[in-house]
């Protein structure tokens, strides 16, 4: 699975937020280097900016694609939509997440 797919999955499942919060608490309590925590927090903020304005319908389509790992045809069939509608609704947020994933990797 590619970096952006993991990023979408972990964001939607709350894993990034939970692990970052735990790391922040650890650093506050015991000290240490917070470089990665700051990087994670920036990534979470960028993902929040991408996902916050999306409708529940679009988030559900993306969740089905990247959490449940359905292909576009399966998502379309399950939601009673056409392939092109699912693709059109999801393409821009996914493109934005790909950009965030590239930034995170560097």
Count the neighbouring beta carbons within 10 Å of the beta carbon of residue 8.
Answer: 26
pLDDT at 1 over 70: no
How far apart CA 106 and CA 92 sit, in angstroms, is: 22
Q: For tokens 């399966």, what's the residue?
A: 74
**pLDDT tens, residue by residue, 11-70:** 999 999 999 999 999 999 999 999 999 999 999 999 999 999 999 999 999 999 999 999
C-alpha to C-alpha distance for 71 and 22, rounded to whole angstroms: 33
Average the pLDDT over 7-13 and give the result.
Answer: 96
Q: What is the pTM of this model?
A: 0.90
Q: Is 6 exposed, middle or buried (0-12, 13-18, 19+ CB in 10 A)?
A: middle
Would you list the domain boundaries of the chain?
Answer: 3-105
Contact call for residues 30 and 43 (beta carbons, < 8 A): no
């Amino acid at each position: 699975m590619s970096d952006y797919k993991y990023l979408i999955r972990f964001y939607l499942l709350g894993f990034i937020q939970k692990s970052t919060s735990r790391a922040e608490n650890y650093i506050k309590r015991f000290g240490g280097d917070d470089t990665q925590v700051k990087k994670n927090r920036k990534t979470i903020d960028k993902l929040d900016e991408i996902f916050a304005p999306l409708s529940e319908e679009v988030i559900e389509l993306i969740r089905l694609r990247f959490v449940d790992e359905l292909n576009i045809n399966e998502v379309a069939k399950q939601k009673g939509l056409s392939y092109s509608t699912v693709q059109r609704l999801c393409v821009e947020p996914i493109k934005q997440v790909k950009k965030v994933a590239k930034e995170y990797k560097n």
